[in-house]
Amino acid sequence: MTRKQLCPVFQPNDRQLGTASVLLLAGLCAFGCARDESVSTAGKPSVAAATATAPTAAKAPAYVDGERIINADSEPGNWMSHGRTYDEERFSPLTQIDTENVRNLGLSWHYDLPTHRGLEATPVVVDGKMFLTGSWSRVYALDAANGELLWEYDPKVPPATGAKACCDVVNRGVAVWKGRVYVGTLDGRLIALEADSGELAWSVQTTPTEPPYTITGAPRVVKDKVIIGNGGAEMGVRGYVSAYNADTGDQAWRFYTVPGNPDEPFENPALEMAAKTWSGGEWWKNGGGGTVWDSMSYDPELDLLYIGSGNGSPWSRKLRSPGGGDNLFLSSIIALRPDTGEYVWHYQTAPGDSWDYASAQHMILTELKIDGVERKVIMQAPKNGIFYVLDRETGQFISGNPFVTVNWIRGFDPATGRPDIDPRAYYTDEMFMGQPSTFGAHTWQPMSYHPGNNLVYIPALDSSFPYVIEENFRFLSVGVNVGVDGEKVSWPEDPVARQAAKATLKGLLIAWDPVKSGPAWTVRHKVPWNGGVVSTAGNLLFQGNGEGDLVAYRADSGERLWSFPAQTGIVAPPITYTVNGEQYITVLAGWGGSMPLVQGGAFEDGNAANRNVSRVLAFKLGGKEALPELPPVEKILDPPANTASEEQVARGKALYHRTCFACHGDAVVSGGVLPDLRYTNKATHKLWDRIVLEGLLTNAGMVSFASILSEQDSHDIQAYVIKRTHDTLDLDEVNEPAHSPPTDTITE
């Protein structure tokens, strides 16, 4: 019996503290992770058939329970959970908008959000009301038909928390359950709000407050338990996932993904097993990583909750577990019992992970006929570049094949599914040019599975990364702790070499056949960092991209049918729903995330991705609204005199890449979401030490680095920034030409 055929018997008990422009006018623009204020498809019943088992009318505003989510196809006009259904397919049965009329799609309404940071949320729509999150974990309730604000809630995340966020101050959305809205906040809280008013019902701190934990992922609710993970592996934490009572906020259970001190009792037998795969070192002192920072899915028939765990901390196994071993449960798909958190099975996608090849990415549940046998499967395309199909009841490996260029493995053991890892890939003695890169072949941007076309659509990235262990590595109390030499992996300073390096970044949209285990078609994007996707029974696929367009493709062929210029890069996934009989396509537009933070300048070719204009955009057939024109962006290079010695600049370069890189990007191609330090003006340079060492801009997210930097360190970093600014002026890099491939090149 497939998921869609289950009977409904199962009843599971900115504030704007300062945008870059404001800081610029104040002479303080250059610093800080700043806080700113009805068709049948193969293996599926038709909508008409599903309507026979439709749940009863909602009992209260936004009353969603397990029965409604399980029977989501009986009310396809709603989008009631993060992936629309528990299986997270992100496929909608709606057909009002199709390949014939999508050209008539127009903007119906938009809502501006008070931020200039990344937007990654999936809106949830229940009975005409839309619930979503913006940056800094703010929550908004809108009328889904016209965008009217119903209420908003600001959890007042301390601005200094931004310094703990490796990959922007984003949030991927809410969960809605029985009249409440649940959100995880950047500072580690889980909050329950009343759906009709936005009033606080309860709040619980899910993480220790001193270690650099964060929450950016969306919670899920299963059987009256709110499931939430956390992030922070790049900083140095121990990963876990927790369940809380939806009514009271009381903790029900917690499952750690990395063993603690082996001299102390383990929290459960699974961790005792995992500890045997860690050898040497004292990983527990700085956590070990393995955070559950994004994806989950749930099978109500098997009663299994699936979580994906992240990378090790630091990245290199040699640094955290010098004796070797697989280091469970890093980079794994793990099945748990949702009532108790009891371990059931796992599959590790990257044993001994040393590359930031997290498996926290989107997991889809479906049924596939493989070799003539119907199999209940879980599918994932994690950062390591391999598309996996596993038996979701047992974790048995069914297939795994690269969907981009991969060089860290040489194949799989067909019996166990264990990858044959090239020993050189661990970069213990020399640099390894790894493919994919640390940004991943596919990261958090959600995929979609179209059961009628039997295709999974993957927002992919084909790139490489030079992995080099940082000599004399030590954990720092502020900033990232990945153990990779940032200076040696920075962009070439020569403009010609830099353009050649940029050309190796390939953004792709891949339609993957999970049975044939290969691509059906591929779209080549102009910009490497692009948005999540949604597919519909109208044979459509929607995706936003880094050029600033929302695009509709034919889901069976990849043909581009329609687009809309959003004035900013789009990384969030679209959704679709109906209100008053009209189908809408909605997406959050707002440029941000990990790659724009650290390699913003890789996109400098005049694209809309160069600026963030944070909005909710909603489209319908015949929509007539137009976006207002934006004022031009003006950047002025105004550095002090370049008087430092070559030795001081060289030392400053090394320090910059160890302490500043994660927020302000590579100083060769910086200029992403946060201030590009090359544009620090003379007035701000006079305040350099007060900002870097005294925390002058703590309220804007730029904390003091005095605990890890001396006054001389601060001056050396400043000298390097000044030198890079003069280099930019000398080489006229501000308007350097782009060498990007054509947009939307389709290959069969």
Pairing of strands 189-194, 296-299: unpaired
Q: What is the pLDDT of residues 554-613, one digit of tens each?
A: 999 999 999 999 999 999 999 999 999 999 999 999 998 888 877 765 565 545 456 789
Q: How many C-beta neighbours within 10 Å does residue 118 have?
A: 29
Report the C-alpha gap between 130 and 78 in whole angstroms.
Answer: 10
For residue 11, name the pLDDT band (cuts at 50, 70, 90): very low
Q: Phi and psi dihedrals of 270, rounded to 5?
A: -60, -35
| SS3 per residue for 682-696 | HHHHCCHHHHHCCCC
Cβ–Cβ under 8 Å, residues 676 and 668: no
Residue 452 has pLDDT above 60, yes or no: yes
Report the C-alpha gap between 59 and 53 in whole angstroms.
Answer: 17
For residue 637, name the pLDDT band (cuts at 50, 70, 90): confident
Residue 244 has pLDDT above 60, yes or no: yes
Structure tokens at 497: 């070499």
Domains and CATH numbers, the chain: 14-37+636-748 (1.10.760.10)
Cβ–Cβ under 8 Å, residues 593 and 529: yes
Give the chain's radius of gyration (CA, Å): 24
- pLDDT number for residue 500: 73
Show Cβ contacts of residue 428 under 8 Å, excluding neighbours closer than 6 positions: 316, 318, 469
Q: What is the pLDDT of residues 522-542, one digit of tens each?
A: 999 998 999 999 999 999 999
For residue 5, name the pLDDT band (cuts at 50, 70, 90): very low
- pLDDT number for residue 502: 73
Cβ–Cβ under 8 Å, residues 385 and 456: no
Cα→Cα distances 28→481, 683, 707, Å: 27, 8, 22
Among 439, 492, 488, CA closest to 464: 439
Residue type, 307: I
For residue 4, name the pLDDT band (cuts at 50, 70, 90): very low
Structure tokens at 293: 């920072």
- pLDDT number for residue 667: 56
DSSP string, 149-177: EEEEE-----GGGGGG-TT-S-----EEE
Query: Residue for token digits 């009572």?
Result: 245
Residue 112 has pLDDT above 90, yes or no: yes
Report the C-alpha gap between 651 and 111 in whole angstroms.
Answer: 46
- pLDDT number for residue 744: 40
For residue 668, name the pLDDT band (cuts at 50, 70, 90): low
SS3 label, residue 216: coil
pTM here is: 0.89
- pLDDT number for residue 732: 53
Residue 491 has pLDDT above 80, yes or no: no
Query: Residue for token digits 């504030």?
Result: 15
- pLDDT number for residue 598: 74
Burial grade of 660 (CB within 10 A; 0-12, 13-18, 19 or more): buried
Burial grade of 565 (CB within 10 A; 0-12, 13-18, 19 or more): exposed
Cα 65 to its chain centre, rounded Å, is 26
Angle, helices 646-659 vs 711-731, to 10°: value is 100
Query: Residue for token digits 């300048």?
Result: 601
Average pLDDT, the chain: 87
- 193-231 residues labelled b (16+ CB within 10 A) or e (exposed): bbbbebeebbebebbeeebbbbbbbbbbbbbbbbbbbbb
356 is catalytic: yes
- pLDDT number for residue 572: 98
Residue 10 has pLDDT above 50, yes or no: no
Rounded to a whole number of angstroms, the distance between the first and last alpha carbons of the chain is 34
Residue type, 137: S
Among 167, 641, 241, 726, CA closest to 438: 167
Query: Residue for token digits 């004399």?
Result: 472
- pLDDT number for residue 604: 57
User: How much of the chain, in percent, has pLDDT values that exceed 70?
Assistant: 86
Q: What is the pLDDT of residues 319-352, one digit of tens each?
A: 999 999 999 999 999 999 999 999 999 999 999 9
Show Cβ contacts of residue 647 under 8 Å, excluding neighbours closer than 6 positions: none
Show Cβ contacts of residue 613 under 8 Å, excluding neighbours closer than 6 positions: 116, 566, 567, 568, 589, 590, 630
Residue 92 has pLDDT above 70, yes or no: yes
- pLDDT number for residue 36: 46
Query: Residue for token digits 């830099």?
Result: 498
Query: Residue for token digits 């992936």?
Result: 83
Structure tokens at 629: 């024109």
Residue 26 has pLDDT above 80, yes or no: no
DSSP string, 67-85: HHHHTGGGSTT-B-STTSS
Report the C-alpha gap between 652 and 17 in whole angstroms.
Answer: 29
Helix (H) or strand (E) holding 407: none
- pLDDT number for residue 479: 83
Q: Phi and psi dihedrals of 126, rounded to 5?
A: -130, 115
Structure tokens at 599: 């390699």
Residue 40 has pLDDT above 90, yes or no: no
Residue 46 has pLDDT above 70, yes or no: no
- pLDDT number for residue 446: 98
Q: What is the pLDDT of residues 669-689, one digit of tens each?
A: 555 677 788 888 999 999 999
Cis amide linkage into residue 492, ω under 30° from 0: no
Structure tokens at 242: 């927790």
Show Cβ contacts of residue 38 under 8 Å, excluding neighbours closer than 6 positions: 46, 47, 48, 76, 93, 94, 95, 537
Structure tokens at 212: 């650099």
Q: Which of 104-113, 142-151, 485-494, 498-507 has the lowest mean pLDDT?
A: 485-494
- From the list 356, 462, 666, 716, the catalytic residue is 356
For residue 52, name the pLDDT band (cuts at 50, 70, 90): very low
More confident residue, 59 or 143: 143
